[in-house]
Amino acid sequence: MHNFSSVLLTVSLLLLGCLAKGQQKKVISHQDYDLWRTIKNEKLSNSGDYLLYNAVPLDGDATLYLYKAKSGVLDSIFRAEKASFSSSEQYVALHLKPSKDSVNRLRRDQVKKDNLPKDTLLIWNLNTNAQVKIPNLKSYKLPQKKGDWLAFEQYKSKGDKKDTITSNKKLKKSKSKKKQQTQLFAFNPITNDSVSFQNIKEYSFSDEGNVLAMLLESKDSINSSHFVVFYPQSKKVDTVFKSNAKLEKLSVDSNGNQFAFISKADSTHQKKNNLFYFHIKNNKVISSTIDSIAKSELCKENMYVSDKFAPYFSENGNRLFFGTVPELPQKEKDTLLPEEKVSVDIWHWKDKDIQPRQLKNLKKDKERTYTAVYLTKAKKTIQLATPDISTLQKDLKKEDKYILAFNDDSYRYLMQWEGREFKDVYLIELESGKRQKVLTKISEKPLLSPKQKYISYFSPDDASWYAYDIAKKRNLNLTAGIKDISFAKEDHDMPIVAPAYGRAGWTKNDKSFVVFDRYDLWLLSPDKKQNPKRLTKGYGRSHSLQLRFVRTDKESYVIPTDKMLLRSFNEKTKANAFYNCDEQGNVNKLISGDYLFDNLVKAKDSDVVIYTRQSFQEFPDLWISDLSFENPIKVSNVNPQQKDFNWGTVELVEWESFGGIPLEGLFYKPENFDPNKKYPMLVYFYETYSQRLHKHHFPKPSYSTINFPSYLSNGYLIFVPDIKYTEGNPGKDAYNSIISGVEHLASTRSYIDREHLGIQGQSWGGYQTAYLVTQTNIFAAAEAGAPVSNMTSAYGGIRWKSGLSRQFQYEKTQSRIGGTLWEKPMHYIKNSPLFFADQVNTPLMIMHNDNDGAVPWYQGIELFMALKRLQKPTWLINYNNAPHNLRRLADRRDLTIRLQQFFDFYLKHAPAPEWLQNGIPAVRKGKDFGFKLIKDSKEEIEK
């Protein structure tokens, strides 16, 4: 009996073992990335009764989801995008997309763009659930505030002889090079009324939905343009204006009572652009032309209407804003042969912007416009911006008295080394154009108060908040008397002055201004009649919580101090929570947990909110609640397949740097972690990362860095240490922080395989990876993406994406040298990996792309050539015409495979891929990617 029991127990254990093995979770492979979807295009209806969102795969067709809050029903439509609620919430309109696979097959067959499948307009009735489909859709528009009508533009099927909104004919092949014709329909899905229009060029609803304005363009024997207005309620069509010139840039005011568009200059009909303005009076449309700018003491002569600026109305329609240019563009006849032309840039030491910056902004500068306003009641034109003061701030749709304007001409050259932009600030009166300079050489963004009595701004030079009193023309320092509190970032570690923690904005009637310190919110009185008040009563500081205001009303500039919604960040647990705070400063927790809460959006007409909740294990799906957060409901579940894969866990670790500085970092382990095994470990970093403890990562091809879930699933440990910097020693500081963390973990956790440690970083992390392998041999393999290898040459380089000099980066910002090359030459040398290339004993893979707009790719070349000369194992991966971080999906897939093959070979004894052993000769480029694995040893490859 005893023997039988033993046999039975053995059999049972074997069965359980087989069952467990059968339920073993899958390892993430490169083929699995397409399984994961992201959430995009979330839209909450004004009432909060409905929610729309797209679940979008990496490469494929999106699915649209509609959540009905009252019933809890979740519906979906495959291949649906660009969805919008009608203002009455009677229906949803959307684009039903053709299958991406089918379109790509036709593209590979070189089918012309006009003959590819078109979108379908789908109208989804929210009351009956009925759906109407209309083929060959180009675009659709809905009124913002009222009405059930919509307008949609439909491609005409080739060979159609009549207009229809239900035609299902297929496009036929055509050799015609003419632009495919369209027709416009105004359609009411509730009543099924419709009206069609031909030769549409532009169309726009008023916000109130009472008019649909259109610009039509016919190209018969005589080209002509028409301005047409359709009135949905009466179904009346009014052809208001005809012209032989081209009409464009149509604008309609919110109430549908005023219209504007530009009549474009051409060589045949008119020599300059005209701005046409129309208004409805006694049910008739009255027109007038604004073809010149009214002369005043602030207006320069010879200003002309620009066709690069789309005119628009203020909210009450009393102002029409449009753009002007100081001279008309002249088309010069080119009579030179190509071999007779010279293309040359002249770099001058007195240039305010260096030539690369000028060339980068060339198109923008050529098309620069200067904002003017037409006062529709006073029938007066005011030139607001001018070439000397060209930049305006604030939403001009608001009915404000003033607008802020800026001039940075005197300071632009400082950007080369200062690392911040300075400007003089002007106050312009919108009704008269009068301007006055109110602030000089400020670097932070100023903010007008809602009643426009004050301008608030932060001065980094003395770490103080200021208010400028417009009536009294005086500046007041609002925070100078506050002791032991900094409104500039306390942990700022760059040589440039510390920026502010930020602001929430102004309260009602300009009574006070709300700003942040590290933890709390403060009320500052702009006239200093009230002492600064810590609104949250020190709750944030006493609990190590960074409290920040959450704006729930996107249309309001006023902070509601009676009941503010706050989002917190706990510096100890790295978790978020939502709180509210009343006018007495009582802070109450609403919802919390070991999660990152984010992306909150409130319904316009109710207290319904949506938000995301995430952790390393939990994807940031959508949740819906009210502002009490008492009964939140999880709406989406876009990645249910995650449960089938071996994932991972994360923990916060602490240690001291070699200099005795307390540090934190993140340590990730596979979900199936076994402490009795030995694991290879990858080290990744970028300045400080521990605040991302609860951030979710999902499998996807790499832009430039390792993907955490993928490597964990494949049996790696990952360590992400924080770095603490001092001025002048970025390389040494990285060593003291990172290597001390690696030594701490390896000495306290026996399952870390010290012989198989890898390191990877991109950009600033790429530089520090390259530096570290010159200082230590503890890593078996390293990958550096876009590394600066030689600070002496990089200092004089250009950030080609922006056209800016790189000097500021070394003197004042991320590189933290704190001086010029000639002031601190040894600092540049001792922090440059290139000068210590002979000390490298770690196989190094470099990715540096030839269209890198941040770090010039010759930095990667310098390092590669030095290591190649020294016969050190090194590889340079250059994705042709690719930017700093990869964007093309094909490039990302390629890098992801190479990166893992590289680390698998050096850290897991996997076979080497052919590209790692032999490279890919240029004659095989594009034909052979070298992914094939070969069984060569590390010694054979490095021989």
3-state secondary structure of 539: helix
State pTM to two decimals.
0.91
Q: What is the residue-averaged pLDDT of the chain?
A: 91
**Res 479: pLDDT:** 96
What digits encode the pLDDT tens for the residues 540-597?
999 999 999 999 998 888 999 888 999 999 999 999 999 999 989 999 999 999 999 9
Six token digits for residue 607: 């207290």
**Res 6: pLDDT:** 42
What digits encode the pLDDT tens for the residues 690-732?
999 999 999 999 999 999 999 999 999 999 999 999 999 999 9
Q: Residues 667-701, buried b or exposed e (16+ Cβ, 10 A)?
A: bbbbeebeeeeebbbbbbbbebbbbbbbbbbbbbb
Q: What number of H helices and E strands is found in the chain?
A: 16, 57
Residue with tokens 């005043």: 296
The residue with greater pLDDT, 221 or 336, is 336
Alpha-carbon separation of residue 352 from 415, 458, 676, 825 (angstroms): 9, 26, 64, 27
- Is residue 192 left, alpha or beta, with left meaning phi > 0 and alpha meaning psi from -120 to 50? left
Distance CA 555, CA 46 (A): 13
Contact 374, 381 (CB under 8 A): yes
Low-confidence winner among 145-154, 236-245, 673-682, 738-747 (lowest mean pLDDT)? 236-245
Six token digits for residue 215: 């610009």
Does residue 506 register a pLDDT over 80? yes
Whose CA is closest to 489, among 459, 517, 522, 521?
A: 517
**Res 299: pLDDT:** 53
**Res 936: pLDDT:** 63
Confidence grade of residue 676 (pLDDT, cut at 50, 70, 90): very high
Alpha-carbon separation of residue 689 from 490, 599, 826 (angstroms): 17, 20, 30
Mean pLDDT, range 11-40, rounded to an integer: 73
What digits encode the pLDDT tens for the residues 251-267?
999 999 999 999 988 76
Contact 524, 509 (CB under 8 A): no
Distance CA 95, CA 64 (A): 10
Helix, strand, coil fractions of the chain, as percent rounded to 5: 20, 35, 45
Distance CA 604, CA 44 (A): 9
**Res 302: pLDDT:** 72
Whose CA is closest to 683, among 739, 728, 632, 636?
A: 739
Whose CA is closest to 232, among 349, 141, 168?
A: 141
Contact 545, 570 (CB under 8 A): yes
Alpha-carbon torsion angle 504, 505, 508, 511, nearest 10:
110
The residue with greater pLDDT, 528 or 8, is 528
Residue with tokens 């052809």: 239
What digits encode the pLDDT tens for the residues 45-77?
999 999 999 999 999 999 999 999 999 999 999
Mean pLDDT, range 743-754, rounded to an integer: 97
Distance CA 499, CA 461 (A): 9
**Res 300: pLDDT:** 55
Whose CA is closest to 538, among 547, 529, 530?
A: 547
Percentage of the chain surpassing pLDDT 90? 80
Percentage of the chain surpassing pLDDT 70? 92
Alpha-carbon separation of residue 514 from 30, 457, 462, 482, 605 (angstroms): 49, 12, 19, 15, 25
Residue type, 756: H
Distance CA 230, CA 252 (A): 12
Does residue 893 register a pLDDT over 60? yes
Contact 810, 418 (CB under 8 A): no
Does residue 333 register a pLDDT over 70? yes
Does residue 940 register a pLDDT over 90? no
**Res 293: pLDDT:** 52
What digits encode the pLDDT tens for the residues 766-792?
999 999 999 999 999 999 999 999 999
Contact 393, 404 (CB under 8 A): yes
Mean pLDDT, range 789-818, rounded to an integer: 95
Does residue 177 register a pLDDT over 80? no
Distance CA 230, CA 826 (A): 73
Specify the pairing of strand 200-205 against strand 212-219: antiparallel
Contact 469, 519 (CB under 8 A): no
Mean pLDDT, range 880-904, rounded to an integer: 97
**Res 935: pLDDT:** 74
Does residue 175 register a pLDDT over 50? no
Does residue 334 register a pLDDT over 60? yes
Confidence grade of residue 884 (pLDDT, cut at 50, 70, 90): very high
Alpha-carbon separation of residue 116 from 102, 110, 513 (angstroms): 9, 10, 55
Mean pLDDT, range 679-690, rounded to an integer: 97
Mean pLDDT, range 870-874, rounded to an integer: 97
Confidence grade of residue 941 (pLDDT, cut at 50, 70, 90): low
**Res 289: pLDDT:** 77
Distance CA 51, CA 163 (A): 35
What digits encode the pLDDT tens for the residues 263-294?
988 766 667 889 999 998 877 788 777 765 54
**Res 931: pLDDT:** 94
Mean pLDDT, range 153-165, rounded to an integer: 63
3-state secondary structure of 178: coil
Distance CA 397, CA 371 (A): 13
**Res 298: pLDDT:** 47
Does residue 889 register a pLDDT over 70? yes
Taking CA 489 as the corner, what is the angle to CA 483 and CA 492, rounded to the nearest 5 degrees? 125
Name 305's bridge partners: 324
Whose CA is closest to 384, among 321, 465, 462?
A: 321
**Res 169: pLDDT:** 33
